[in-house]
Amino acid sequence: MSPGKPFFRQSAVWLGLSLVAVLAALAWRWPPDGREHAALAQFFGRFHPILVHLPIGLLFLVPVLELAGAFGRRDDLRGAAGFVLNLAAAAAVVAALDGWLLARSGGYSGPLVVHHMWCGAGLAALCLVAAVARGAFAADRGGWPGFVFIYGPLLVGAVGLMAWTGHQGGQLSHGETFLTEYMPGGLRAWLHVTAPPRPKPAAAGPAAAQTVYGVRITPIFNRSCVSCHGPAKVKGDLRLDSYAGLMRGGKDGEDVEPWQPAQSEIVRRINLPSDDDERMPNNGKNPLTADEIHLIEQWIAAGASDRQPLVVAPLSAAQ
């Protein structure tokens, strides 16, 4: 081994750990606040869903190469495992930094976003530590106990954290019940996974189950909007899981103007073309139908109340 290789490896590790430390400082000092910031940061941040797949694929490949090299006595595969792990660590650092740009500048907030961000930073650090351990306890230099009992658990932990972090990313993109919504009952019971709660017909106000808002409007929001505007993920500082959150509005102010659907931001957003970045919902999942859009417009035209009785003043009366 040439004298320059250890120096290069140590420099790369210290650079990676320094970048992770910078990421942790950024996340601590400037966490996602639900508001959009620099346009250039948003541009680069939107590459995160693409970049994040690189460390996922590389890291899952490492144990395959390690096991194939060990049982097949293939030194070439063992060497490839180390190279792939180094690439995975570098890719994890880049993806985590880019994820912070997306979370901070893209108008995101909420505990799920924050947890996903910190898991990404932790994963990058764990990959780097695993790469260091692999080099320090190389089996061909007699370090097999450390290779098995230190590097092995670190690699397993990194793969496990990768799976959990990826699951959180899927929840952010597709909703918290995306993976478990159609899980078979037997598997759900075996894994002790709670069935997704059915949308409640009421969200606020006394006897809300008998109101236009509780029976007709809330189910639309629960099905199509709450995954991005709920307690776990708050896009644009807007909450649609309660009447108070809806009427409070988001980062741009009030989204609903009672009696004025044409002046309401939420009506403008749900009527935008499907390829417009401002359309709601914009994740392609559970789009609002024409009838649902018309219902929301009618409800706002009737005053956007959470107390309007369903049987006394049906929406058709507001036409």
Do 123 and 227 belong together in one domain?
no
Do 222 and 306 belong together in one domain?
yes
* Bridge partners, 211 (sequence order): 309
Domain assignment present for 240: yes
Residue 312 has a pLDDT of: 47
Residue 23 has a pLDDT of: 87
* Bridge partners, 106 (sequence order): 36
Do 55 and 122 belong together in one domain?
yes
Digit-coded pLDDT (tens) for 90-132: 999 999 999 999 888 887 878 888 899 999 999 999 999 999 8
> Number of structural domains, the chain?
2
Residue 226 CA from chain centroid, whole number: 14
Domain assignment present for 199: no
Q: Which domain holds residue 135?
A: 4-174
Q: Is pLDDT of 89 > 60?
A: yes
When pLDDT is cut at 50, 70 and 90, the band that residue 8 belongs to is low
When pLDDT is cut at 50, 70 and 90, the band that residue 206 belongs to is very low
Domain assignment present for 90: yes
Residue 124 has a pLDDT of: 94
Q: Is pLDDT of 313 > 50?
A: no
Do 240 and 147 belong together in one domain?
no
What string of DSSP letters covers 109-125?
-SHHHHHHHHHHHHHHH
Residue 2 has a pLDDT of: 45
Q: Is pLDDT of 309 > 50?
A: yes
Do 16 and 120 belong together in one domain?
yes
Domain assignment present for 159: yes
Helix (H), strand (E), coil (C) string for 55-111: HHHHHHHHHHHHHHHHHCCCHHHHHHHHHHHHHHHHHHHHHHHHHHHHHHHECCCCH
Do 123 and 240 belong together in one domain?
no
Torsion angle of C-alpha atoms 300, 303, 306, 311, degrees rounded to 10: -100
Residue 92 has a pLDDT of: 94
Digit-coded pLDDT (tens) for 264-308: 889 998 888 877 878 888 766 678 888 989 999 999 999 988 888
Mean pLDDT of 141-165: 85
Domain assignment present for 200: no
Phi and psi (nearest 5°) for 309? -65, 140
Digit-coded pLDDT (tens) for 223-251: 888 877 887 777 777 888 888 888 888 87
Residue 283 has a pLDDT of: 64
Indicate the range of 148-162, 164-178, 270-284, 304-318 predicted with least confidence.
304-318
Residue 201 has a pLDDT of: 43
Last residue of a domain, one of 124, 148, 174: 174
Domain assignment present for 194: no
More confident site: 197 or 125:
125
Do 24 and 116 belong together in one domain?
yes
Do 232 and 297 belong together in one domain?
yes
Do 34 and 90 belong together in one domain?
yes
